[in-house]
Amino acid sequence: MIDNRNLTMLTDFYEITMANGYLESGMAEDIAYFDMFFREIPENGGFAILGGIDEVISYLENLKFTDEDITYLRNKNMFSEAFLDYLKNFKFSCDVWAVPEGTAVFPGEPIITVRGPVVQAQFVETMILLLVNHQSLIATKANRIVRAAKGRPVMEFGSRRAQGPSAAILGAKAAYIGGCAGTACTIADRDIGVAALGTMAHSWVQMFPSEYEAFKKYCEIYPDNSTLLVDTYNVLKSGVPNAIKVFKELKPKSMGIRIDSGDISYLTKKARKMLDDAGLQDCKIVVSNSLDEYLIQDILLEGACIDSFGVGERLITAKEQPVFGGVYKLAAVEKDGKMIPKIKVSENVEKITIPGFKKLYRLYDKDTNRAIADLITLVGEPRPEGDGYEIFDPRNVWKRKKISNFVAKDLRVQLFDKGELVYERPSVEEIKQHCAEQVDALWDEMLRFENPQTYYVDLSHDLWELKKNMIEETAAMNEI
């Protein structure tokens, strides 16, 4: 969809050296479980929006090593012929589970789990992280901006500031999932179905002998979408008066002005009065110019008269925090048909992993349909249910709560079964709607940009005991 090149080799080199090492060690077919998760919510927000799952599916469906790939690796003089032959006949055969795209997610949750031969399960790490990290970052930022707009449409205007073509296209998709109304990125409309929107640049106005003539010609050509950029020369003394003149003369079906500079609050209030006094109450006001959720929130509090927003660089680059930080870690292996949990221990508490093959539930209040907490359990544990079910904070175990009148919903679905796709991929519209429903199920206190209410991701008692015991065993083995 974005790049016709085979991206199988878009991987960290150590994944190839380890794969060769596993084969040489007789471990290539050993079954491993890897979890993809993230540790921190961008900008200290209340939640993140998951993106990139559809592209992960496409990547896994098309994994193959070309003759050029094999020749390149052979010329490195590092890899055995047996390994190169393995790659030549490579077929993805892993099981994959994931949280559906557009879901609100939280730190520590196994967003994706890959189970299969260790060579394969390890090899896909880089692309999974690349796709999910980027799109989750942009979808999360877009959702923050959309919520700040308080129901006013937000258009993604950032293609020219994105870090490359793929970032522009997939960023447009992620922004749409996060709640944007459309994008300025035309190819995202053609290939993904994200509505392409836009008006004119200052150069259009400058190309004509006068601002009035530029506006008039544009309205003649596009009477159904006559949004005029009014800040090329002077918003209130030239742009708005000329727009009013043209609108009253031609009476286009759709009228709007866009302001891309200056004091947005002051200019939109003045422009709104001028338009209303001219009888153009239906004329919309669009603003752009380096906006983000904080600026949008502030100017609306100041009474700015705005109907929609165009947001560019601060959205498409997630400028305030341009890294999502997802990681991909080994959680378990299988030996003689038995699953053996694995853990990574660190002096940084947040870097200690959660061992084992797990399930992820979201617990909903039956009366309000609001999310209470998420719960991670070991596969095989009973589904959480019943009155007086106890959940607790896995870091501060004295924080406990008994819940009743709730329903536990599986948060993950299976994507691949032994390498075969078993998941019906939703459309981008369905993903966007799912995202909106997910956010609606969160408590208002979690939607704050500053100091949102903490949402708890709890561990089942059995999983917490397993993790605790493995940490203690690791500490004991490393005592001096």
- pLDDT tens by residue, 257-284: 999 999 999 999 999 999 999 999 999 9
Which helix (H) or strand (E) segment is 459 a member of?
A: strand 457-459
Q: Is the pLDDT of residue 404 over 90?
A: yes
Cβ-Cβ contacts under 8 Å for 320 (sequence gap 6 or more)? 42, 43, 292, 314
Per-residue confidence (pLDDT) for residue 3, from 0 to 100: 56
Q: Of 155, 185, 93, 99, which is closest to residue 426 (Cα–Cα)?
A: 99
Whether CATH 3.10.20.600 fits 13-137+322-477 = no
pLDDT at 4: 63
Inform me whether the pLDDT recorded for 2 exceeds 60.
no
pLDDT at residue 373 greater than cutoff 70:
yes
Cross-strand bridge partners of residue 183: 156, 196
C-alpha distances out from residue 164 to 170, 182, 311, 388, 471, Å: 10, 19, 18, 52, 42
What gap in Å lies between CA 145 and CA 309, rounded to an integer?
A: 10
Q: Give the global pTM.
A: 0.95
Note the pLDDT tens digit of each residue in 88-113: 999 999 999 999 999 999 999 999 99
- For the record, the structure tokens of 405 come out as 């009148």
Helices marked H in 103-210: 118-123, 125-148, 165-178, 186-192, 202-207
The ranges assigned to domains in the chain are 13-137+322-477, 142-316
Average pLDDT of the chain? 95
222 Cα distance to chain centroid: 34
User: What does DSSP say about strands 255-259 and 226-229: parallel, antiparallel, or unpaired?
Assistant: parallel
What is the pLDDT, as a whole number, of residue 46?
Answer: 97
Q: Which two tokens stand for residue 444?
A: 């208002």
Mean pLDDT of 418-433: 98
Percent of the chain with pLDDT over 70: 99
Q: Yes or no: is domain 142-316 CATH 2.60.120.10?
A: no
**199-228, pLDDT tens digit by residue?**
899 999 999 999 999 999 999 999 999 999
Residue 174 has pLDDT above 80, yes or no: yes
pLDDT in tens, 41-85: 999 999 999 999 999 999 999 999 999 999 999 999 999 999 999
pLDDT at 5: 73
In this predicted structure, what is the pLDDT of residue 1? Answer: 46
Q: Please give the structure tokens belonging to residue 415.
A: 């994507």
Q: What span, in angstroms and rounded, lies between the C-alpha atoms of 414 and 396?
A: 32
**Token reading at 368:** 């309000």
